[in-house]
Amino acid sequence: MITDFITVHRPPGTGSFFGPEGSKNVPVPLRPAEGDSPIFVKRKLGQSPGGFSTIELLAACLLLGVLATLCVQYFHAAAIQRRALGQRMTAIQEAASQMECLSARPLDELTPKLAAEARLSPPAAAALPGGEVEVRIGEPEGKPPAKRIVVLVRWRGVDDQPLQPVRLVAWKYQKVP
């Protein structure tokens, strides 16, 4: 049997088997004797067993599983919100583009017939599920002659529910000579 020596320190006068000097070199087997397990040898030396028990490993795996589930749910919710924000920004850009095109026309060309011809651009139609644009051109009474232009962009969300539409309103006045 191969042995190594360790020094065990005990306070003097404790009645230990080491005597009054308080410390002694004790031979410790590096390999357990036949029939002894390494855990038994460590316990003989006053040390706790190393490694993890099965219960500790199961608890760690359970905790990691719960944390992984929470992370996946968080990232899924963030992805849904990011997609909804992207769709809303696309709708805002589309409404602004439609308004810019209508505002650039002369006042006498702004008619309900022109409003009925409004369509989403192909990129906006691809990005907005169930998307549609509605343009209303109103002619209020009074002077100076003016027209009220309303651009409304609607689309549906992930669960096929209509979302809050984007609405832009502008007034176009006849140029005074």
User: Would you list the domain boundaries of the chain?
Assistant: 3-49, 55-173
The pLDDT value given to residue 89: 94
Task: State the Cα angle at 126 between 122 and 86, rounded to 5°.
Answer: 115
C-alpha distances in Å from residue 140, one per residue of 33, 109, 135: 105, 16, 16
Give backbone dihedrals phi and psi of 138, rounded to 5 degrees, phi first.
Answer: -115, 150
pTM: 0.62
Q: pLDDT under 50 in the chain at which residues? A: 1, 5, 8-9, 15-20, 22, 39-44
| Measured CA distances, 135 to 21, 28, 51, 117, 148 (Å) | 101, 92, 72, 9, 10
Q: What is the pLDDT of residue 144?
A: 78
pLDDT of amino acid 29: 52
Give every strand in the sheet of 166-173, ordered side by side: 132-138, 146-154, 166-173
